[in-house]
């Protein structure tokens, strides 16, 4: 028998997933049977994947798969310990050296996950008299890193430089050290951090700058070096964090910066010190991806060709895609249950996408998060566009001026949507889809 003061009482009364399942709309934990390039097989049916972070499409690259197999032959399947003690491989150190050079930083430290890279780095750097200035749309791993840090966290409105200066002006004098932390590419809205202004404000108010490039690595910059390289500000960003679970086809994360700072994190971050090392196959996968992005620029070219096609076509249809400037292109829906229903219809029509609902976004701001890959074919993209246009009309999102005005209002209120089109997507001819 349970009582109101039973620790598990909250678990037994939590029925939100049950309600969604009862409505036949539960969209999560779809079991994928196989993958191939830009599609997946679920429940015996091939579906075009437009919900993946595999931006460069390297998870099935022949060189990458072969490198992973060779690493298993050389090192086995796991390190069975922390890098701090018995799990440090030559392969880990070689990856760190190569990645630091690629990013234009003195030193780099590889973590077992990107979540740990943020959690460990932020919590170890911020002391009691220090402060983090954090964008309100930052990833959950940054939020957790801020929660673990013993200093204070002050939030500013998403990508709003006026609000960032406001909080700096009114609070900076209360603290010793200060760190401005933000995603380079925001994972839900797909917009890019206004890094030039962040750097200016950091200099003006005596702050260090930390950029989470989980969705920028492999996507922005001349060779995919990320947000700082995209703006030509690599030397002005103190710490660059990133992950391998997107463009680099594996799992893991890193922090890169000055050698002394990285070495401090190496010896202070519990999420690094007390976690088993990234497995050999994962290390080899990332290392080979690093070689591929430098030797085969066609992947980055294809990614942006596909992203431009989809952004322009979806905007022309009438979807509100927020401030997206990247291959992450959200479709604003509004209501959570309608987003679930929309996702289900997509799935039934052979398109795999993912809904984003509260608490990931404010109530009434549900999205369908679509994202595109270098490996998508014209046929894949045209299939997705045809389905999205059909469902957009079916759900009253397209061709309904009243609904579109309502969604535009939501975008401006909650996402700070600008009236001007995103500069990354200059208009060019778009192939007609079937």
Q: Which residues are known catalytic residues? A: 187, 215, 246
Cα distances (angstroms) measured from residue 395 to each of 135, 340, 384, 407: 33, 12, 16, 13
Q: Where are the alpha helices (DSSP H) in 44-160?
A: 62-75, 90-103, 114-125, 140-148
Can you name the residues that pair with 383 across neighbouring β-strands? none
* Closest among 246, 374, 214 to 308, alpha carbons compared: 374
Task: Report helix, strand or coil for 414.
Answer: helix
C-beta separation of 422 from 330 below 8 A: no
Q: Is the peptide bond before 239 cis (omega within 30 degrees of 0)?
A: no
Q: How many residues does the chain have?
A: 434
Cα distances (angstroms) measured from residue 82 to each of 71, 88, 315, 321, 338: 18, 7, 48, 43, 45
Q: How many other C-beta atoms can be found within 10 angstroms of the C-beta atom of residue 429?
A: 7
> 14: burial class by Cβ within 10 Å (0-12, 13-18, 19+)?
exposed
C-beta separation of 67 from 91 below 8 A: no
C-beta separation of 293 from 299 below 8 A: yes
Tokens, residue 366: 């549900």
Backbone angles phi, psi at 23, to 5 degrees: -80, -5
Laid out side by side, the sheet with 152-156 consists of 107-111, 253-257, 239-243, 208-212, 178-183, 131-135, 152-156
Strands 253-257 and 107-111: antiparallel
Q: How many other C-beta atoms can be found within 10 angstroms of the C-beta atom of residue 398?
A: 17
Which residue is it, tokens 């990856």?
95
Instruction: Please enumerate in sequence order all residues whose Cβ is within 8 A of that of 44, keeping only pairs 6 or more positions apart, or say none.
Output: 33
Instruction: Please enumerate in sequence order all residues whose Cβ is within 8 A of that of 15, keeping only pairs 6 or more positions apart, or say none.
Output: none
């Amino acid at each position: 028998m349970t009582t109101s003061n039973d620790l598990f009482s909250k678990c037994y009364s939590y029925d939100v997933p049950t309600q969604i399942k009862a409505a036949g709309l539960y969209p999560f934990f779809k079991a994928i049977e196989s993958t191939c390039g830009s599609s997946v097989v679920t429940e015996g049916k091939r579906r075009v994947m437009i919900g993946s972070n595999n931006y460069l499409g390297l998870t099935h690259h022949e060189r990458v798969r072969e490198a992973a197999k060779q690493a298993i032959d050389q090192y086995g399947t796991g390190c069975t310990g922390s890098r701090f003690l018995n799990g440090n491989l030559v392969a880990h150190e070689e990856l760190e050296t190569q990645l630091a050079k690629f990013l234009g930083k003195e030193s780099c430290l590889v973590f077992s996950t990107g979540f740990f890279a943020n959690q460990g780095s932020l919590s170890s750097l911020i002391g009691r008299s220090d402060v983090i200035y954090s964008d309100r749309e930052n990833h959950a791993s940054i939020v957790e890193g801020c929660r673990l840090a013993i200093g204070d966290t002050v939030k500013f409105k998403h990508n709003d430089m006026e609000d960032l200066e406001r909080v700096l002006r009114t609070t900076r004098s209360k603290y010793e050290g200060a760190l401005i932390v933000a995603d380079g590419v925001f994972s839900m809205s797909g917009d890019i951090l206004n890094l030039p202004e962040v750097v200016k404000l950091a200099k003006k108010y005596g702050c260090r700058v930390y950029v989470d490039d989980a969705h920028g690595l492999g996507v922005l910059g001349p060779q995919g070096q990320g947000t700082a390289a995209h703006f030509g500000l690599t030397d002005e960003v103190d710490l660059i964090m990133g992950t391998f679970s997107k463009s680099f086809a594996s799992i893991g994360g890193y922090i890169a910066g000055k050698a002394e700072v990285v070495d401090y994190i190496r010896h202070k971050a519990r999420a690094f010190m007390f976690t088993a090392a990234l497995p050999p196959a994962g290390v080899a996968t990332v290392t080979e991806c690093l070689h591929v992005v430098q030797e085969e620029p066609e992947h980055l070219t294809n990614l942006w060709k596909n992203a431009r096609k989809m952004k322009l076509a979806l905007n022309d249809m009438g979807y509100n895609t927020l401030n997206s400037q990247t291959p992450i292109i959200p479709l604003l829906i509004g209501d959570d249950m309608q987003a679930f229903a929309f996702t289900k219809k997509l799935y039934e029509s052979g398109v795999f996408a993912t809904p984003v609902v509260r608490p990931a976004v404010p109530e009434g701001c549900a999205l369908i998060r679509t994202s595109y890959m270098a490996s998508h074919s014209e046929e894949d993209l045209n299939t997705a566009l045809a389905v999205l246009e059909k469902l957009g009309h079916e759900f009253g999102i397209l061709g309904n001026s009243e609904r579109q005005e309502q969604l535009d209002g939501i975008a401006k209120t909650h996402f700070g949507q600008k009236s001007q089109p995103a500069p990354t997507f200059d208009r060019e001819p778009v192939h007609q889809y079937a």
